[in-house]
Homo-oligomer: A and B are copies of this chain.
């Protein structure tokens, strides 16, 4: 009968009210009632202080569930604002790799304050994981696994699992890992084989010997390649002396891979220097975006200076000014298509960074055909508009040639950048457009200056 309150259609307002009133039961009830999508959306509306206040009132277990859902930067901001004791309680509820991920996003001072309040096992596990780069095998692995000595029998292992059923409940147990006296990896025992085995069989006789494993220091690309090659659900991670230190799950590898593809998409559009969310401070967002824009404006000024060299030609045939931005933009489009195909072929492994000649030939064919098509189109437009065939020929030939230039540069630049050890997703775009702009402006204006008599006949002047 009453009007629905604003806070019912906007749950974050209700979250805020309840947090301000320190109404812990009310908050728990609300958070449970929202679906995940509403929780993420509502938390995004809160300030970091409000977020941390809500988490504190929710209690460690529910707070950990929410933390697991939020974008990494929102989760880290909230944890940073919490008293270290409360933060440590929440971290205890997370899986080891999530925990390390989150602490890795904090200032080292904040992280240390929280670890000082954590259990020694948790602190050790986090410090161990943080020693590895975040996207290496060691940075992606979890430290929750079941290891048994090779002298145990099947029955003893089943007994061990039964006794510790609560501790292992949250582990994703599909394999039991078999280790030697110094913790060195000896084999893996699939749970299925354990189930089907006679109880008095020794683990050593059942296990798969010399199993595939990966060094903790292995970089991301090596990890991806290994999981591509094999259907592992998880693989043991070892340190010097084959010592077992963790398990790398496909789930976490794939999450890292999705993250990389998304980062590449952001970079393709000029978001560099870290993920941006609009909840971040304006100054930070502005500064990060400017870091990219200021490089681009410098390159743009260089490219456009070609026009300055031909000002007189342009003034005499001012209709060309309409076509300069078209040729610049279309060449950028054609070149970016070639960049996309090169990035994809490099990622798939069907093209290698040294195959410049092969890639060029393949691009040149498409460049010739598309250059011809686009050149004819723009020549027709120019001819129809001004009734001047020479104008049509100048812009048509310039666009045709520059399309060929653009796909050549676009196809080759990612390969060259990869060979030089740079990230091709990041730098290919600006390099491409600078060269194609310069070349495009030069083609239009130099062709125009040699045919200026036909473009701007004295009678029309």
Contact = CB atoms under 8 A, between A and B. Distances in A.
A254 B261 CA distance: 12
A113 interface: no
Interface string A297-335: 100110111011001001100110111111011101110
Contact of A369 (B282, B296, B300): B282
How many copies of the shown chain assemble into the complex?
2
Given A271-B337, A325-B324, A378-B297, A265 B343 contact: yes
A348 B276 CA distance: 12
Contacts of A318: 311, 314-315, 318
A194 interface: yes
Nearest to A305: B322
A13 to B, nearest CB: 14
A53 interface: no
A318 B297 CA distance: 20
Nearest to A228: B36
Given A192-B173, A262-B261, A315-B318, A307 B325 contact: yes
6 A-B pairs with least C-beta separation: A254-B254, A261-B261, A269-B340, A44-B350, A278-B362, A286-B369
Interface of A: 36-37, 40-41, 44, 69, 71, 74, 158, 161-162, 165, 168, 172-174, 191-192, 194-196, 225, 228-229, 231, 233, 250-251, 254-255, 257-258, 261-262, 264-266, 268-271, 275-279, 282-283, 285-286, 289-290, 292-294, 296-297, 300-301, 303-305, 307-308, 311, 314-315, 318-319, 321-326, 328-330, 332-334, 336-337, 339-341, 343-345, 347-352, 359, 362-363, 365-366, 369-370, 373-374, 377-378, 381, 385, 425, 433, 437, 441
